[in-house]
Structure 1
Amino acid sequence: MNLKQLSEQLGLSQTTVSRALNGYPEVSEKTRERVRQAALAFNYKPNTRARSLATGRAMAIGHVIPVSTQQEMVNPIFGDFVTGAGEIYSQHGYDMMLSLVPDRDEESFYRDLKIKGNVDGIVVHSPSMDDPRIALLNELGLPYVVHGRASSVTLPYSWVDVANASAFEEMTGHLAGLGHRRIALINGIETLDFAHRRRRGFLHALRDAGLEADDDLMVSSDMTESFGFNETRRMLALPNPPTAFAVASLITALGVRRAIEQAGLTVGRDVSVATFDDDLSYLRNGTEDAPVFSGVRSSVREAGRRVGAILLSRISNPTALPASEMIPFRLVTGTTSGPAPS
């Protein structure tokens, strides 16, 4: 089915249908949804090249990954995020462009993207506390959305995030409420904003429980399974080891569990573990009704969908005020947390 035939089916002009499919703000939301549903029903696929010529857009979204964080591209968390974002892109006829760029070349790469018009918008991944990409993209006038936040940046920008500080405060409070007094933090890289916020929530929960933070029990690095294993093994060998671990990623928590079991201890009885669960499609934390790991759960795929939707809206209406959205989380209780051993 071509655009003319779809327009005739709907009783709308080709211009209106084209604008609805391209997300133009002058088309009402009701009409856009009606056109979208009809396009799905009739399996209408717009000609990307023709659409690009008609709109003056590249019909592509850029995801730029610095070499220093290239491990993110093989991380299942990143995979779930781009899958969610890709669902939104494909619904609106957009392609995705993934680029791995040396850190020293990142600024010039963004400038080239703007000059060449290769993409219509950018998703900013893994923001640091004072991320310089925000000021650069504002200067370039290239639409973008940040997956996360940059606490030290005062410029206005669009973002989608989860309440990391509140999540870790609630998760650590869960462990303290079970009587644990030696609680360890195994965190992501703390120059990244999400990990900074998670540490802040962890420390707040300790203070609320009347507990002292111990530097020997707080570590940060890339959130790998081996990192969790090595640091847990080190901490369990201390004269006064922790009885509980608050962990920043389910992947890292698998390493924590391996170290506990290798030490001849039982997870949930001798040592408790709670983790941030991104609700991954291909690395499930048990089932919906019976999670294995206790912790806080939030959907990174839904975060990808929301980033995609906000970015396409900004491309359609670049003068709109920045938008932000908080993805919800909830505490789940599995078999890995229990009362502190007496």
Structure 2
Amino acid sequence: MTLKEFAKLVGMSPTTVSRALNGHPEVNEATRARLIAAARHHGYQPNAHARFLATGHASTIGCVIPIGGRNEIVNPIYADFLAGVGEECARRRFEINLTVVADQDQPDAYRALSSKGLIGGVIVQFPRHDDPRPALLDRIGMPFVVHGRVTGHDAPYTWVDVNNRRAFHRGTGFLAQLGHRRIALLNGDERLDFADRRRAGYLAGLAEAGLEADPALMAEGEMTVAFGYASTRRLLARPAGQRPTAILCAATMIATGVAQAAEEAGLVLGRDLSVLTFDDDLAYYANRAAVPVFSAMRSSVRVAGARCAALLIDRITGLRHDPVQELLEAELVLGRSTAPRPED
């Protein structure tokens, strides 16, 4: 069904219909609501080119997904992030374009999206230290929002991040208050900015508790069950008196691997070994029983995805011009996996 056909069907001009369905403020809300309901009833959906002509901007958000030996595209954390982006896009009548490229091809991918003109802006994900993408996007004039932050990028830009440093500082301090003195860290890839901030928070928590950092109790890698399992087996193989009594995990997937390795070793979480995880409140890895399986520093990545999309759409549509920074805080939730340090 074309715009003209739909406009004739509802008895209004094509211009009014187009403006109403594309969010123009001069159309009153009662008319807009009636036309949206009619469009849904009759299955009318304006195409991307028509929306571009009506609004002067592309109503599509781009997500460039780098594949560099990691599994972002099937990561449940990223799936929940995209769900949040999608919910906000649906609410604001925007679409999502996913582009999967090799790590080194990202600059060309952003330039191609910009030159085609059908992407209104992009969400930058998995930022690293001194990440060159914000500067590149500024140069080519592409609106963007960063999920996370880029240490070393001094120009103003819009970002949404969780306070990773504070969460891991607080988490380490919580374990220290339970009497733990050998606290291990199983972190994400520390080339990524969020993981570097988590390590900094962990080290600050140890220092505040008067504990010495031991490199043998720290590991970084892809946030998978396999990484948590293998790392825990290595930690538990250390001589008595050198094994950790508590493990701080960067993701629920890692904590699941820790639990598997601990069970194989005959240990009970919350009695013989304490585990505290960062919990993104995931749909697939839910940790929301009345008493959760894992004690966790909880922050919804789905909410972060929705906020990234909202801020980017505001920028694309001209509702916001100045950079916005939103720092979300993680909530400490007690579960069955933490307890005071067992007697040596």
Q: Normalising to structure 2: TM-score of the pair?
A: 0.89
Work out whether 1:309 is the aligned partner of 2:310. Answer: yes
> Residue type of the partner of 1:111?
R
**Which residue in the other structure is 1:248 paired with?**
250
C-alpha distance in 2 between matches for 1:41 and 1:116: 32
Distance 1:242 1:22, change over 3 A: same
C-alpha distance in 2 between matches for 1:226 and 1:296: 21
Deviation of 1:104 after TM superposition, in Å, equals 2.5
> Residue type of the partner of 1:314?
R
**Which residue in the other structure is 2:272 paired with?**
270
My pick for the range that moved more, 33-42 or 258-267, is: 33-42
The answer as to whether partners of 1:274 and 1:295 remain within 8 angstroms in 2 is: yes
C-alpha distance in 2 between matches for 1:7 and 1:135: 48
**Which residue in the other structure is 1:191 paired with?**
191
**Which residue in the other structure is 1:66 paired with?**
66
Distance 1:35 1:266, change over 3 A: farther
The answer as to whether partners of 1:121 and 1:315 remain within 8 angstroms in 2 is: yes
The answer as to whether partners of 1:23 and 1:316 remain within 8 angstroms in 2 is: no
**Which residue in the other structure is 1:333 paired with?**
334
CA-atom RMSD in angstroms: 2.5
The answer as to whether partners of 2:63 and 2:122 remain within 8 angstroms in 1 is: yes
Distance 1:201 1:90, change over 3 A: same
1:36-91, Cα deviation, whole Å (9 max, x unpaired): 76566556454124223322433221110122065111001100110110111122
**Which residue in the other structure is 1:321 paired with?**
322
Distance 1:188 1:70, change over 3 A: closer
The answer as to whether partners of 1:76 and 1:282 remain within 8 angstroms in 2 is: yes
> Residue type of the partner of 1:248?
A
C-alpha distance in 1 between matches for 2:28 and 2:276: 43
**Which residue in the other structure is 2:260 paired with?**
258
C-alpha distance in 2 between matches for 1:6 and 1:181: 71
**Which residue in the other structure is 2:216 paired with?**
216
C-alpha distance in 1 between matches for 2:322 and 2:148: 18
C-alpha distance in 2 between matches for 1:296 and 1:130: 27
My pick for the range that moved more, 146-155 or 39-48, is: 39-48
C-alpha distance in 1 between matches for 2:28 and 2:67: 39
C-alpha distance in 2 between matches for 1:7 and 1:175: 67
Distance 1:338 1:34, change over 3 A: farther
The answer as to whether partners of 2:51 and 2:58 remain within 8 angstroms in 1 is: no
SS of the equivalent of 1:210 reads: coil
**Which residue in the other structure is 1:82 paired with?**
82
Distance 1:3 1:84, change over 3 A: farther
User: What is the total number of aligned residue pairs between the two structures?
Assistant: 333
The answer as to whether partners of 1:70 and 1:100 remain within 8 angstroms in 2 is: no
My pick for the range that moved more, 125-134 or 37-46, is: 37-46
Deviation of 1:22 after TM superposition, in Å, equals 3.9
**Which residue in the other structure is 2:300 paired with?**
299
My pick for the range that moved more, 214-223 or 103-112, is: 103-112
Segments of 5+ residues of structure 2 without an aligned counterpart are: none
Deviation of 1:118 after TM superposition, in Å, equals 3.0
> Residue type of the partner of 1:332?
V
> Residue type of the partner of 2:185?
L
Matches within 5 A, 1:81-230: 81-230=81-230
Distance 1:154 1:6, change over 3 A: farther
The answer as to whether partners of 1:246 and 1:273 remain within 8 angstroms in 2 is: yes
1:220-267, Cα deviation, whole Å (9 max, x unpaired): 111111111111110111121000000000011100111111111111
> Residue type of the partner of 1:293?
F
My pick for the range that moved more, 147-156 or 102-111, is: 102-111
Deviation of 1:15 after TM superposition, in Å, equals 6.3
C-alpha distance in 1 between matches for 2:205 and 2:28: 46
> Residue type of the partner of 2:46?
N
C-alpha distance in 2 between matches for 1:32 and 1:167: 45
SS of the equivalent of 2:230 reads: helix
The answer as to whether partners of 1:21 and 1:35 remain within 8 angstroms in 2 is: no
My pick for the range that moved more, 309-318 or 178-187, is: 309-318
C-alpha distance in 2 between matches for 1:216 and 1:7: 73
Deviation of 1:34 after TM superposition, in Å, equals 6.5
The answer as to whether partners of 1:23 and 1:313 remain within 8 angstroms in 2 is: no
1:120-148, Cα deviation, whole Å (9 max, x unpaired): 11010110011100000011110111111
C-alpha distance in 2 between matches for 1:94 and 1:52: 11
**Which residue in the other structure is 1:47 paired with?**
46
C-alpha distance in 1 between matches for 2:35 and 2:339: 52
